[in-house]
Amino acid sequence: MATLYNMIKRAAALVALTATLAASAQVQTLPTMGVAGRVLRYYDVRTGDSVYSVARDLGITVDQIIANNPSAADGLTPGMRLYFPESLAGGADATPAPGEPQHPLTHVVEKGESVYGISARYNIPVETIIKLNPQADSGVHAGQVLRLAEGAPQHESLAAAKPDVAAPKSGLAPRAGYEIYKIAAGETLFAIADSRGTTLDAIQVANPDFDITSYSEGDEIYVPLTGVRNDTAHNASPQTVAADMPEDSTANTAPAGYSSLHEMSVAVVLPFMAEDEHPGRAARLNQEFLRGFLMGVREHSDRNGAKIYVRAFDTKGNMDTLRMLMERPEVSGADIIVVPDADGQMAFIEDSDTRSVLLNYFSIKDETYRNHSNVVQANIPHDKMYDRAINGFMQTFRGEDGLFLPVFLSRADGPTDKAEFTRLLKERLDAEGVPYATVEYSGSLEVENLAGYTPDVQPAVYIPESGTRHEFLRYAPVLEKIKEELATPENMALWGYPEFVTFKGENRAALHSLNTTIYSRYYTNDNDYTLRSLRSRYKDLYGQEMTDAFPLQGVQGYDAAAYIVAALRGMAQGDSLPKDFEGAQGTLRLERAEGLPHSAGLVNNSLFLIHYREGNGVEKTRM
């Protein structure tokens, strides 16, 4: 890391000179090109470049690079082109007028992006993006043009308009040993397999490019010829968007309630938007959740008699469809319903007088569990999360000689999206008589700001007031510099937030360098064997990678299925619904919230502490 620290040191020295003429001279040597009617200077990133080295070489600040090239906040890659206005070269394209945004007026959404990620990229509050683009409140999709400032022009999506309903997948060529089967209205793949004396696996193998989460009437598939036919079953199954699982199920419906301790029916009720040719990102992630769920049932089901009947129902994103679905006995009578997150839909399902256990994996803010005994809130609520995280902080940084000195980093006029957490942490420290310090600074953190609060005086843990990537770049370089010069680097640590798990490249490396600990509802680690193996099996089964999102919805679905299978096994042994469970990505410790009556449901009270160690190691602690 010595080279990186030297780069930071030299870049900081150049910035300290505030040599405007020198900066102009260096940027002025860059070539120019016309972009959107403006003349811009550009620099093509070379192997070995970093934002710090480019800032040093051009005599400008890291902030100036990121302000003009927001994607640089994730680090630089060879061949990447950086753009700079003529104002940095002393040209006529002057500094923006007061009030003019320091970022583009619009942003074209790329595949895999989220509102939160775009917010962090441009350092714009999520609330501002939603206010300027109300449709983004329900998610964004590739090709969508978002306004980033008042006065930005309105745009249509760059994606071409498509029909709402996809054309049937037909025209298969005859194959020896297979029947070409046209799917009828309301049929499921499981029902077809059952009626033809074959299995769902065999149908999937015969149709590797067929999407089991998105098919409709008129689609054609190959079905292995077995000599067995049972046409009476074709129209008995409900209209779903996915196959019933597992393959050895012997019925298309399951009775309400736990009629058998070896059987359980599950209805996954989500907006899959299966009839849309190009469903939005949220719908695609719901489909991914379902695929992971089916895979989890497949891998965890007890083959010695226990059966999970899974049916998935598409709400199509509207209440009218949900009302019709809840009138169907295979939905309202399911043992467990995996419920959607849309406003009002959870309450409507509960008011439908269903006896089902309602499993909520999607709505963090929903509090239906407070009044209904059959609701399981799988997301730890905001206040409980802060309480558990603070407990984790106190445990992590309390050594034989007492607690590390907590040093709160507060930038004047900087974002304070974690102000509530830092306030609660200070209250806890005050209550336990633990001293702490607050360092206030402007611009970017400097070594001088930390005088008297560096780990060579006393072991220290630094706590920022923001979880944004842009803010991280204002203090991390100086903390890295200080840490390299310590005789006892283990005496220094950084406390971070769930958003840090999205950091990549240089920023992820800095988390390891700074001995960072964060709290999060979900665990992720690119090098974790369990997660890598799960993603590999998912790709082998479905022929596609999981979407790079956090949390990974395919893993979320897999964990949900693993929990339900564990629930079935527990109840078969005479136990109640399991209260404690740790999956590949999530964790559950279900309890009745303190102060609520016995008629209340269960809520999760568990999260992870994730520790980034020097040398690229990642550890997790379940709290």
Considering the domain architecture, whether residues 80 and 119 belong to the same structural domain is answered as no
Mean pLDDT of the residues in the chain = 77
Tell me which H or E stretch contains 82: strand 81-85
The total of structural domains in the chain comes to 4
Q: For residue 527, is pLDDT > 80? A: yes
Residues 198 and 229 in one domain: yes
Are 57 and 111 in a shared domain? Answer: no
- Look up the domain containing 219 and give its range: 176-237
pLDDT(495) > 70 = yes
233-245 per-position pLDDT tens digit: 333 233 333 333 3
Q: In 229-379, where does DSSP find H-type helix?
A: 281-300, 319-326, 329-332, 345-351
pLDDT-derived band at 193 (thresholds 50, 70, 90) equals confident
Residues 6 and 52 reside in one and the same domain:
yes
When pLDDT is averaged across residues 408-437 and rounded to a whole number, the result is 94
Residue scoring higher pLDDT (262 or 225): 225
Burial of 407-419, coded b for 16+ CB within 10 Å and e otherwise, reads bbbbbeebbebbe
Percentage above 90 pLDDT, the chain: 27
* Spatial separation of the C-alpha atoms in residues 398 and 429, rounded to whole Å: 12
pLDDT of residue 232: 32
Which range scores top for mean pLDDT: 90-94, 212-216, 329-333? 329-333
The radius of gyration of the chain's CA atoms, rounded to the nearest angstrom, is 28
- Out of 520, 546, 578, a domain closes at 520
Question: For 458-484, how does the pLDDT look when each residue is reduced to its tens digit (9 = 90+)?
Answer: 899 999 999 999 999 999 999 999 999
Q: Same domain for 390 and 504? A: yes
b or e along 485-510 (b: 16 or more beta carbons within 10 Å of the residue's beta carbon)? eeeebebbbbbbbbbbbbbeebbbbb
Please identify which residue in the block is written with the tokens 């840490």: 483
Domain boundary residue, one of 184, 219, 237? 237
Confidence of residue 224 (pLDDT cuts 50, 70, 90): confident
Proportion of the chain above pLDDT 70, given as a percent:
75
Q: Does residue 202 come out as left (phi exceeding 0), alpha (psi in the -120 to 50 range) or beta? A: alpha
Higher pLDDT, 281 or 7: 281
* Pair (110, 85) in one structural domain: no
Across 356-375, average pLDDT = 86
Q: What is the pLDDT of residues 99-155, one digit of tens each?
A: 444 556 777 777 667 776 677 677 787 778 888 888 777 677 767 788 887 766 565
Asked if residue 32 belongs to a domain, the reply is yes
111 and 85 in one domain? no
Residue 589 lies in a domain: no
14, 23, 27, 470 from 61: Cα distances, Å: 9, 10, 12, 13
The verdict on 123 and 201 lying in the same domain is no
In a domain, 300, yes or no: no
* Cβ 349 vs Cβ 326: under 8 Å: yes
Query: Is 364 a domain residue?
Result: no
Residues 312-325 pLDDT 10s: 999 888 888 888 88
Q: In this structure, are 77 and 122 located in the same domain?
A: no
Q: Is residue 493 a contact partner of residue 397, using CB atoms and an 8 Å limit? A: yes
The confidence score (pLDDT) of residue 249 equals 28
Q: In this predicted structure, which of 210-214, 223-227, 400-404, 446-450 has the lowest mean pLDDT?
A: 210-214
CATH number reported for the structural domain that contains residue 183 in this entry: 3.10.350.10
Does any domain span residue 290? no
**Roughly how many angstroms between the first and final C-alpha of the chain, as a whole number?**
32
For residue 510, pLDDT over 50 is answered with yes
| CA count, 13 A, side-chain hemisphere, 322 | 23
Same structural domain, 9 and 110: no
- Identify the weakest region by mean pLDDT among 202-206, 256-260, 591-595: 256-260
Residue 224 within any structural domain of the chain: yes
pLDDT for 518 equals 95
Q: Which of 169, 168, 161, 164 is nearest to 276 (CA)?
A: 164
pLDDT reported for residue 104: 64
Q: Is the peptide bond before 578 cis (omega within 30 degrees of 0)?
A: no
Question: For the residues 516-536, what does the mean pLDDT come to?
Answer: 91
Residue where a domain terminates, one of 472, 504, 520? 520
Whether 301 has a pLDDT exceeding 90, the answer reads no
Average pLDDT estimate for 527-549: 90
Say if CB 141 and CB 118 are below 8 A apart: no
Task: Read off the pLDDT band of 370 (50, 70, 90).
Answer: confident
* 212 & 140 share domain: no
User: What's the pLDDT score for residue 600?
Assistant: 81
Q: What is the pLDDT of residue 192?
A: 80
Specify if 288 maps to a domain.
no
- Using the predicted structure, report yes or no on whether residue 556 has a pLDDT greater than 80: yes
Do residues 82 and 111 both lie within one domain?
A: no
Say if residue 400's pLDDT is above 70.
no
Q: Is residue 606 a part of any domain in this protein? A: no
pLDDT score, position 319: 85
**pLDDT one-digit tens code per residue, 51-84:** 777 887 887 877 788 777 766 766 777 778 888 8
Q: Could you tell me the CATH number of the domain that includes residue 511?
A: 3.40.50.2300
